[in-house]
Amino acid sequence: MRIFLAEWRKLRRPTFFFGTLGSVVFVTGLVTSLLFLLIDSETGNADRGNRITREMLQLPDGFTIGFNSASGLLGLVALSVFAAQTAQEYTYGTLRNLLVRQPRRYRLLLGKYVSMISFSLISVIVSAATAVGLALALSGRAKVSTDAWMTSAGQTALVETFVNVFISTIGYGTIGMILGLIFRSPISSISIGTAYMLVVESIVIVAWQPVSNWLPGNLLGIVAAGGSPIGIEDVPTYSQALLRVGIFLALLALGTATLFKRRDVAN
C-alpha cells in the first residue's frame, strides 16, 4: 500500500494529472464530435474512412461508438504514462532511493503497476463521460434518435464497452511499462512504443496480412471493440484476441521483471 501511495504522489501532480486527463478529453471529444458532425460526409466520419450511419448510431450501443473509436489513442496515452513513470526513475536516479526503502524489487514493481492501473481507470472513466456527454449533446444536431440509448440494452452496451476499453488500455500501459524497464529512458520508450503501434504494425500488416492476427496492437484493438472492429473482417474472435495478447504480454512481462531484478539500477 505504501508503494501504491508513494507512486500516486507523483501521479497526482496537477500539471501531470490534469494535463493527461486534458489530453484524454481532447482526444475523445475530437473523435466523438467528428462522428456526429460528419455523419453525412461522403468521405466517412470514422477511422479508415469508414462511415457510421445514422441508423448505426441509433442502435442501443450507438452512443458508445465514439468512446470505442478513441480507445486506440487512449491506449497510446496510457503507454506514454506507464513508460514515462517507469523510465524516469532511472533518468532521475530515484530508483536507488526507492530500493533502499523497499528492497524487494518485484513488490516495488507491482505497487507501481497497480497505481498506474488505477490512474488509467480514472482516464477511462473521464473518456467515457466525455464521449457519452458529447453524444447526447450532438445527437439533436445530427438528427440521431436517442431512445434506444436509454434502454437496458444500451446500459449493458456501455458497461461492456467500458470494460473492453479498460482492458485494452491496461494492455497498452503494460507495453509502455515494459519498454520503460528495457530502455530506461522516457523519450526512447515513448517514441519506440508509439512508432511501433502507429507505423510499424501498419506497414507489417500491409506487407503480410495474416500476421495481423498476432500483432499486439491489432489484438488490443479487437479487444477494445469487443470483436471485429467496424470495417475489418477475417480477424480473431474476442476471446482469441484476449488470449493471444494476454499470453504475449505475460511472457514479455515475466522476462522484463526478471531483467529488472537482476540488472543494475543505474541508467
Q: Is residue 267 part of a domain?
A: no
pLDDT per residue over 46-86, tens digit each? 776 678 888 889 999 888 998 998 999 999 999 999 999 99
pTM value?
A: 0.91
Q: Is residue 224 part of a domain?
A: yes
pLDDT per residue over 181-194, tens digit each? 999 899 999 999 99
Angle at the Cα of 72 from the Cα atoms of 66 and 74, rounded to 5 degrees:
80
Q: Is residue 131 part of a domain?
A: yes
- DSSP E strands in the chain: the ranges are none
Number of structural domains the chain divides into: 1
- 108 or 118, higher pLDDT: 118
Q: Is residue 179 part of a domain?
A: yes
What is the enclosing helix (H) or strand (E) of 158? helix 152-183
- The residue behind cell 495478447 is 245
| Cα–Cα distance for residue pair 161/71, rounded to 1 Å | 10
Q: Is residue 230 part of a domain?
A: yes
Question: Which residue range forms the structural domain that includes residue 161?
Answer: 2-262
- 234 or 24, higher pLDDT: 24
| Cα–Cα distance for residue pair 151/163, rounded to 1 Å | 19
Does 89 have pLDDT greater than 80? yes
Q: Is residue 248 part of a domain?
A: yes
| Cα–Cα distance for residue pair 14/37, rounded to 1 Å | 33
- Residues 161-189 have a mean pLDDT of 94
CA-based Rg of the chain, rounded to a whole angstrom? 19
Q: How far is CA 27 from CA 43, 46, 50, in A?
A: 20, 14, 18
